[in-house]
Structure 1
Amino acid sequence: MVSLVVVAVFLLCGTLFQPPQVAAFKPLFQDGSLTHREITQMAILRKTAEVCRDIATAQGHDFTLPINNRLTPSAVQEACSASATSLSAVSSHGFYSAITQMFLSNAVVDQLFALSEAHHIDNEAFSEGRDLIIQGVAAVKASVQQESYISARNTLGALCHTLQDFYSHSNWVELGSTAPFSTLIKPERPLNNLAGPNTPTCKSCTGSNCRDNILPEILLQKKLTSGYFSVFSSTKPAGKCSHGGSLDRTSSREPTGGINKDDIRSDHGFLHHRAAEMAINATVEVLQDIRLATGDQAFLRLVGLSQTSVLAFVIDTTGSMHDDIEAAKNVSFSIIDSRRGTPEEPSEYILVPFNDPDFGPLTRTENADIFKERINSLSATGGGDLPEMCLSGLLLALAGASPSSDIFVFTDAAAKDLELRSTVQAMIERTRSTVTFLLTNPFLFRSRRDVSQSKSFTSKSMSLSDKQLYRDLAHVSGGQIIEVTKATLSQATAVITDASTSALVTVLQVVRSPVIAENISFVLDPSLSNVTVYITGESPVFTIYSPTGVSQSGSVEDGPLGSILTVGNLKRVKLNSDNQTGEWKISIDSTRSYSLKVIGQSSVNFLFNFVEQLEGGDFTPKNNRPFIGRNTALFVSVTGGDSVRVTDVLLVEASGLDVVNGTIKSLGATDFLVNIDRIPEWAFVVQLKGLLHDSTRSLHVRFQRQSPTQQQGSRVTITAQPNNTIEPGIPFNLNFTLATNATGSSYTIRARTDRSFNVSFPSSLDTGTDGSAQGIVTLTAPSDTESGTDVTLTIEAEDSESGDSNYVALQFTVMTKVTDFASPVCQIVSIKANCPVECSRASWELSANLTDGNGTGIAGVSLSRGNGSLSLSYVMSADGTNVTVASYNTSCCSQEVELVAVDRVGNVGTCFVSIKSPSTAISPNGSTTVSSNVSTTASSNGSSTVGPNGSTAVTPNGSYSVSFSMCVALVGLLVFFLCG
């Protein structure tokens, strides 16, 4: 029997019931107020625009986009593409998808950690909250270093929630602060001037007026406090401020009222917009720290701006696969060579080989030459018994690829690891990646001998269930199953070339089984190009009709509407580019099951996520299957079009004709909340229809898009409350909860990782009289796992009788505990400048010594400002310290330089030097001739702010020792300024 305490927590944080609105900036939507979603998006857009501006300036390009809080993803994408040829100029879908991932992981903190004072910096939990932020920043940097961008985004979103809540829940704004509290992201700084545990901080509000409830002496002494919050008890320390609001029971006890600024209706709602602006600036600050630690290109990949297409192969390497491997090599090399250096070049390459009993390793790289080398090294050997580890290889690719990737599986064998079917399907639903199977010789299987040597085959038809497994997974993902001979496989690879283009959208996809004779309509809009129709099946007969009534039979290879390629069970129709706009129709008849898919390239696409309503009206993301028969909501965003009108959002039966309509509420130009009355029992896809402005004809035309991945509901839900990080070698216990509207049901439990980490879990759970059950999964990463490695844990629950199931997929970053939080130290050795009036005729130079003391050591030094030449050398000082010597030389026309030093765990320091007049020399022996204005600044995050002690040090020989928590300025004579 579940204890009363567990039930109470379940009711608060659980799954079947609406969790309470926690005390924080609202997660996603709130009329008139700024939410975590908007704060996070504004900060990302501002910082991304700044990075693109700096890159453009360094390359001599113009960047004219004003950087403010009115930026949109489309505007930033367009401006960045125009100023840097390495970025795709086609679609903002990947950019918006990454931003959405970050603000959804931010919003879900309110559900997963509703009562955690540290996650919301309630109850004066400043130290605990800062620890979460610092640990999160370290994990983001480690993940980026390992190119684990999905994990990095999840962690970044979560830590930003805590960072942003500080400005709503504390009195930082009431203290008159005009800049973010940088100490929250700088562990080397002390948390000073906190209100002590016995220090009164508030008086009761006067009725509903809480404008002056913070004690005058707290404001005068600049003491930092935050509100106390509890939904269970009114108890709080004497004299302390409360958070406030209807759920906060402490706010009814003296001193009454609260100080939160979560929205404009809060007790201190008159300061809401100031707190939100401060939270935006603080988020920009932490993004800048991550940018400096990882570099501009890695930062752009983190925010999804450089994401174009992904080329992902899962390849069977057993003996009979020689021809298949050669076909995969040929098509990948052709794509790489033809698109290298163009906006259509894939931004990432993924390769997973599988054999029996081995599979992997995963190769994930941005470097096309590395991918070529890895795929070229594959050979067809071994085998053994007939089936192979296909699903294990596919699962590894699904976990490693970016969301919405196209993955191609090459095999001529059945899957041996059938127990992974439900896990693979869960990962497909979660990542919304498309999987296409290219099956060669599907009616022949290998003998147990190595066919690369014997070339012998055993005639044996693939069972219907073997083929159906691949077909089902392909259809769930929105992909295809293409059955060809080895001799014709090279022709079928045209599908791979089609899919490995940027800005690919699905206009329509239907699956028919059982089949019916049918007329299927779809709309093409002016933004679409390279439209292709795929029909896969053994016996479909079809005719295509254009909007003007022109028709072409499926038996005509080259006709008035397009060219048709027939390979095995695939018919690929490449439509002509002329006069595509309008409603098309396909009349199709078949005696067996078939699928129809229409794709094209367009800047206009959409994202959707299931969300569930919190008490108080706002919503939080739902990360697994929605509950069958109940109402739910979708958060829909249209990408690539800032003036699109959405008229219909539909749940369309995946293999039938039923439809559930949604009710649409606009949340701005491109975001929509769609209420769904009920989740159907059948599998469905999400279809969007609307009006798009046609600039060539100055009118609005119809458009439609569809999610390729099928979704489905469940009568059970499963939730877990994870950490973002786990330590290598240390078992991590994860609590999870099952909930259903039935009692006394028995559920089979499965838990797996994509990296074969050790996992223990209960084999089954029975729901009690309250319809819920609790379980624990123990996950252990090997002790030698590198920091920044990501691992996906999938927990599934399946009803033993009905087969109904649900899952939760959680991603963790493996992190060795970080103990080095000290920034590198910079010692300016010399600055030599003798600059004439005509600056182009002379140069100036800087020499600096960079050290990391007892830290992990300097990993790299780079320029964040300045276009001169930087050279590095390495020496050891007399006391055994490793010293990185930075020598910089540039034209006198370039008067500023900023060096960035990063240690091995991502601590960042910057050294800024500016020359303002033509003649200055600082020599290492202490003699200094000053006839100009030279300033040098050093800090731990690249910004000049007031530090806690303001101390500076002058070394005995007269050189200027500048640590990254101080600055030294020379203006004529030496004048010291404080900075941090």
Structure 2
Amino acid sequence: MSHFFKSLKSSQLRNVKHSMTSMLGIALFGWALIAGPTVAFVPIGGGVSTHVSITGTALLQKVTETCRAVAEAAGHEFKSTGSSPEELVQACLGPTATGEVSGAKFHSALQEIYRQNGLVDRDFVNSAPHHFNSEAFLQGRALITEGMVAIKANIREENFQAARETLGRVLHTLQDFYSHSNWVELGYTEPYINLIRRDLPLENLTDVNTATCSDCASGTCPNPILPNIQKKKKLTSGYMGIFSSSKPKGKCSHGGAADLTSTAVPRGGLNKDERRSDNVALHNAAVNAATAASLQLLDDIRLAAGDNDFLRMMGIARSSVVCFVIDTTGSMSDDIDEAREVVYEIIDSKKGTQDEPSEYILVPFNDPSFGPMIRTTDPNKMKREISKLKADGGGDIPEMCLSGLQLALTGAPASSHIYVFTDATAKDIALKDTIVALIRSTKSTVSFFMTGASRRRRRSLRADPFNDYKDLALASGGQAIQVSKKQLPQATDVILDTSTSALVTVLQRARNPGKQETFPFILDESLQNITIYITGTSITFTLTNPASVSQSNTEASGKLGTIQTVGNLRRVRLNADKQTGTWQININSNQPYTLKVTGQSTITFIYDFVESFKGPHPGFAVLSGRPQAGQPATLMLSVMGRKGPSSLTVSNIGLVTSGPGTVTSGTMTDMGGGDILVTVDEVPEGEFVVILKGTDKVSNTEFQRQSTTQMSVSKVNIQAVVDSNAEPGKAFKLPFSVITQGPGGQYHISARNDRNFPMSYPSSLTLTTGKYTNDTLTITPPASTPSGTDVTLTVEAKSSSGADSNYIVLRLSVVTKITDFVQPLCEVVSVLADDCPQDVSQCGPFQWELSANLTDGNGTGIERISLQQGDGTLSYTSLSAPIIQANYNASCCSQIVEFVAVDKVGNVGKCYQSIVRSGGPPALTLSLPLWLCLLVSAFVMRP
């Protein structure tokens, strides 16, 4: 679906349960978010209503509804003070969201969904089921329902990124149905719920031998559907030919310049992707239906997942995540004790504040074992788990540090801060390239706390056995802190600094070899808790503020801040009354050193390197690996301000090398809504990061921000697409292609996955310059793999000389095939509301009751029952019983109840009862199975 769709009115939104006043800010916020990506990750060509705008409208409405429900359940008011991501997240998190609140994770989650939605037009451009072309209705519905199963299973396993990616693709296919079929031409205005209900049949499908369209010589006829198709309400869709003009006799075409079948009789096309003068009404109807259908699907997923996990999937959570990777070998007892104390301090000191972590992750490693990864949102569980760690075993050999780090990088949310404690070199150093690829893919920051290894354990002859860790810290923008075991308690203040909300990097540089140099950086009014970190040996420095007041490294407490020195780390905490403007720090050392300046602020940015793709519906796709050498680098960058993107202006975006610090500015194209397309014609050599400068309109001060993850270019490129889910116990084949624009010859192929599932792939490929070489990787999840498990797969191609390499990082979901698509059934036994007075103002002293029986339609068992609407009390008998008896009691003032039953594979059934009456006695609901309740006004199964 290309430019689908161009017009969306607020009056067309369905199921708005609250005042238009409260929704206005959200609507404006939604518009700001979706305006930019319209041209960014969905087809170029424009208009107002696109896949992204439809998806964004539905997502924002569903997130708002969920936030409001969570807030009300917690007993506080949901009230957004403005339309920016930060203000929505602030309102959603409620009273605990004090201080700086970053909307970056929420924005990133939306972008992931939008991107995957748009990539359907690249990765599945010629697949009829993915677009409901060529009357592929059954196959298209299968993609939707199987995707929903995968999303629910992923959420159950807390694999939220995999869930978001599948959600984006599924929504594209669902939305395409309304533009590419004749659903709205048949006069239907509501969504076709059977598309998300595998237990309901698809009816009145046109067979392949029945003509469906009349000839349209102009190609712009408003409704080419044949009268007999209209009369019989037959469902059809247009045939799409990208490489061929053939189609069955008499069939409708998709239409458009890229559709070769559109010139074959019957000519023209059925799609309503764009609003034209000849199809305004049909286009608008398709927009409405696609939006409503997206809301239906999202509501089903929300109810299956529960409100909290639905919001976690959407990135609505406190932004701080605590992730520890800890060496548990025999010499690490002091380090484990310190890590435990840090975790306790974070939990105890930040509880109830915005800086309270939203998730805790712990990965122990030893030799030869590592893991398991422990993830929890419960701080008390984290305390229990880290208290269990004991130093034991290991001996005098290096440990499985990078294997543990790999688990953390694939399990933690993107852009996490990960802290590694060890006193030994890595035995699994062969994973180093994989770790770098994962760091670049996730944009996570890794900091190492390296305590002096004993002589018994130090086997390396190198001057610094920790150089590999320092390389990884530098690549991620983290710290490599080398201290004695006695000094470790002083060094861990870095963790308290960085396990906080709205953390931003103002400047980061590295020098190897060291030299004397002055580094300028800009501090704006929004920045708080500004900290400068310098790592290295034999270092002197002088810090100078905009008023020319200076402080040297010899002044532990001076006019500008306090300086703490421990091991190879200097930590400078600026005073709260810092001046805005350009600061300078002059560093002098002939040894390697790093510099990093951080603070807290909601002024930040997210970015991806992208590449354009052609086809009927061209667009941009995110690069999984390194950008191509010899070509301009293209970035899609989203900027967030204190009051949304309109509260700031951007003056310059460029790439800066981590070594010499050379800045290469890019050409900026404003895509709207805070999104900027940046093209850098000459990419700097070596490692580089992204730097952004602009003005904060709120304070009228200049700001500077920098990314932390280092990137470089490559002449090698790997392409692969995961086009389906894997099944436990079955081999999954992944075709991939490798190309180089550099010298041809032998290239080494390596692949790893974070689950240690068995794989087979070629160890090398012979490449010819400028030509793709194809092969296949096979991975086999064990039969015991839980449904919803995600696998992070990294494939690397490296030249025989090792001079050039690139990688691709893919996520693969393992999902058990299910046959149970039947929703739980609800049969009302009785409604006792006779005591409720007809005058609602007199309802206070009176109660009403409902009794119902719940059963699972296909025997997998009901897992959860929850109250969705109503202020009364819901109770029920054991969930293990064949028939579950549910009882609801409420005041006559609360006249509506809705509760939800979810079975063990995620099928959702709703019970809805209203005793609202206008004259006459309260309504009495008949005893009906849930699927029949669609026909009853008092008790319905709402789509």
What TM-score, normalized by structure 1, do the two folds share? 0.88
Question: Residue 333 of structure 1 aligns to a residue in which SS?
Answer: helix
Q: What residue in structure 2 maps to residue 73 of structure 1?
A: 85
Mark the runs of 5 or more structure 2 residues left unpaired by the alignment: 1-38
- 1:420 paired to 2:435: no
1:305 and 2:316 are equivalent in the alignment: yes
Q: What do the CA deviations read for 1:54-94 (whole angstroms, capped 9, x no partner)? A: 2334445444569xxx965345324324x564798611111
Contact 1:859/1:904 (CA < 8 Å) preserved in 2? yes
Q: Equivalent of 2:928, from 961, 965, 968?
A: 961
Distance 1:811 1:967, change over 3 A: same
Please provide the CA RMSD for this pair: 2.4
Give a deviation string over 1:256-300, Cα, whole Å, max 9, x none: 222223334699577445433432322221111111111111111
SS at structure 1 position matched to 2:878: strand
Alignment correspondent of 2:355: 344
Which residue does 2:60 correspond to in 1? 45
**Residue 201 of structure 2, aligned match among 169, 190, 200:** 190
Q: How does 1:301-380 map to 2 (within 5 A)?
A: 301-380=312-391
SS at match of 2:591: coil
Structure 1 range deviating more: 200-209 or 804-813: 200-209
Is the 8 Å Cα contact of residues 205 and 212 (structure 1) preserved in structure 2?
Answer: no
- Paired position in structure 1 for 2:273: 262
- Determine if the alignment matches structure 1 residue 642 to structure 2 residue 645: yes
Matched residue SS, 2:929: strand
**Cα distance in 2 for residues equivalent to 1:970 and 1:207:** 47
Instruction: Report what 1:714 is aligned to.
Output: 714
Against the structure 1 CA distance between its residues 391 and 750, is the aligned structure 2 distance closer, same or farther, given a 3 Å change threshold?
A: same
CA contact (8 A) 2:42 2:618 kept: no
Structure 1 segment 942-957 matched on structure 2, within 5 A: none
Matched, 1:861 2:865: yes
Q: Distance in 2 between the 1:819 and 1:85 partners?
A: 43
What's the offset of the Cα at 1:694? 2.4
How far the C-alpha of 1:730 sits from its partner, in A, is 0.4
Q: Is the contact between residue 846 and residue 891 of structure 2 (CA under 8 Å) also seen in structure 1?
A: yes
* Counterpart in the other structure of 1:932: 921
Q: Secondary structure at the match of 1:527?
A: coil
What's the offset of the Cα at 1:198? 1.5
Are 1:663 and 2:667 counterparts?
yes
Q: 1:581/1:498 Cα in 2 relative to 1: closer, same or farther (>3 Å)? A: same
Residues in 1 aligned to 2:98 and 2:317: alpha-carbon distance in whole angstroms: 6
The answer as to whether partners of 1:25 and 1:36 remain within 8 angstroms in 2 is: no
Match of 2:624 in 1: 623
Q: What is the deviation of 1:891?
A: 1.4
1:724 CA displacement: 4.5
Measure how far apart 1:770 and its partner are: 5.2
- Greater shift, 855-864 or 658-667, is seen at 658-667
Match of 2:602 in 1: 603
Instruction: Check conservation: 2:363, 2:374, Cα contact below 8 A.
Output: yes
CA contact (8 A) 1:242 1:256 kept: yes
Superimposed CA distance per residue, residues 159-196 of structure 1 (whole angstroms, 9 cap, x where no aligned partner):
11211222222222333332222211111111112222
Q: Does 1:446 align with 2:430?
A: no
Q: Is 1:214 aligned to 2:225, yes or no?
A: yes
Letter of the 1:446 partner, please give it.
R
User: In 2, Cα distance between the equivalents of 1:735 and 1:271?
Assistant: 40
Contact 2:219 2:255 in 1 (8 A): no
Structure 2 distance, partners of 1:384, 1:60, is 54
Q: Is the 8 A contact 2:735 2:777 kept in 1?
A: yes
Q: Percent identity?
A: 49
What secondary structure is seen at the aligned counterpart in 1 of 2:672?
A: coil
The answer (yes or no) to whether the contact 1:320–1:446 under 8 Å persists in 2 is no
Q: Which residue of 2 aligns with 1:652?
A: 656
Residue in 2 that maps onto 1:896? 896
Native 8 Å contact 1:77 1:89 kept in 2: no
Q: Map 1:97-108 to 2 at 5 A.
A: 97-108=108-119
The offset of 1:935, in angstroms, is 6.0
Cα distance in structure 2, aligned partners of 1:253 and 1:651: 50
Q: How does 1:679-694 map to 2 (within 5 A)?
A: 679-694=683-698
* Map of 2:832 onto structure 1: 832
Distance 1:160 1:580 in 2: 48
Alignment of 1:196-595 (within 5 A): 196-264=207-275, 271-442=282-453, 444-447=454-457, 463-464=462-463, 466-595=465-594
Which amino acid counterpart does residue 650 of structure 2 have in structure 1?
V
Q: CA deviation at 1:658?
A: 2.3
Shift in alpha-carbon separation, 1:597–1:588, aligned structure 2, 3 A:
same
**1:841 alignment partner, SS class:** coil
Amino acid at match of 1:353: P
2:853 to 849, 853, 859: 849
1:149 offset after TM fit, Å? 0.9
Structure 2 counterpart of 1:135: 146
* Cα distance, 1:642 vs structure 2: 2.7
| 2:860 is the counterpart of 1:885 | no
**Which string of whole-angstrom CA distances, capped at 9 and with x for unpartnered residues, describes residues 25-80 of structure 1?**
971654324333332222211110111222334445444569xxx96534532432
Structure 2 SS opposite 1:290 = helix
> CA separation in 1, counterparts of 2:210 and 2:689?
57
The AA in structure 1 aligned to 2:651 is T
Cα offset, 1:315, TM superposition: 0.4
Q: Which runs of 5+ in 1 are unaligned?
A: 1-23, 448-458, 920-930, 937-958
Structure 1 residue 599, shift from structure 2 partner: 0.8
Letter in 2 for 1:683: E
8 Å CA contact 1:58–1:867 kept in 2: the answer is: no
Alignment partners' CA distance in 1, 2:760 and 2:460: 38
Cα 1:767–1:221 shift into 2, 3 Å: same
- Residues 446-466 of structure 1 show CA distances to partners (whole Å, capped at 9, x for unaligned) of 35xxxxxxxxxxx66762463
Distance 1:933 1:968, change over 3 A: farther
> Within 5 A, what are the aligned runs for 1:674-823?
674-695=678-699, 700-742=700-742, 744-768=744-768, 771-823=771-823
CA distance in 2, matches of 1:864, 1:599: 43
* Structure 2 counterpart of 1:407, one-letter code: I
Specify whether residues 979 and 319 from structure 1 end up closer, same or farther in structure 2 by C-alpha distance, changes over 3 A only: closer
Residues 856-881 of structure 1: CA distance to partner in whole angstroms, max 9, x if unpaired?
111111011112111111389xxxx7
Distance 1:891 1:445, change over 3 A: farther
How far apart in 2 are the matches of 1:427 and 1:565? Answer: 32
CA contact (8 A) 1:740 1:771 kept: yes
CA contact (8 A) 2:397 2:459 kept: no
Is this contact kept in 2: 1:910–1:964, CA < 8 A? no
Cα distance, 1:169–1:708 mapped onto 2, change above 3 Å:
same
Check whether the contact 1:236–1:250 (CA below 8 A) recurs between aligned residues.
yes
Shift of 1:445: 4.1
Letter in 1 for 2:640: T
* C-alpha contact (below 8 Å) 2:509/2:661 kept by paired residues: no
2:13 matched residue in structure 1: none
Q: Which amino acid aligns with 1:52?
A: C
Distance 1:549 1:30, change over 3 A: farther
CA deviation map 1:721-776 (0-9, x unaligned): 21342100001011000012246321111111101111111100111465221111
Q: How far apart, in 2, do the equivalents of 1:489 and 1:875 lie?
A: 50
Query: Is 1:55 aligned with 2:70?
Result: yes
Q: Give aligned pairs, total.
A: 897
For residues 519 and 965 of structure 1, do their structure 2 counterparts lie closer, same or farther at Cα, with a shift above 3 Å needed?
A: farther
Greater mean deviation of Cα atoms: 961-970 or 110-119: 961-970
Distance apart, 1:830 and its partner CA: 1.4
Hey, what's the Cα distance between the residues in 2 that align with 1:537 and 1:25? 42
Using structure 2 for the length normalisation, give the TM-score: 0.91
CA contact (8 A) 1:65 1:79 kept: yes
What letter matches 2:660 in structure 1?
Answer: G
Structure-2 separation of matches of 1:201 and 1:356? 67
1:195-232 CA-partner distances (Å, limit 9, x unpaired): 22112122232324332323233333332221111221
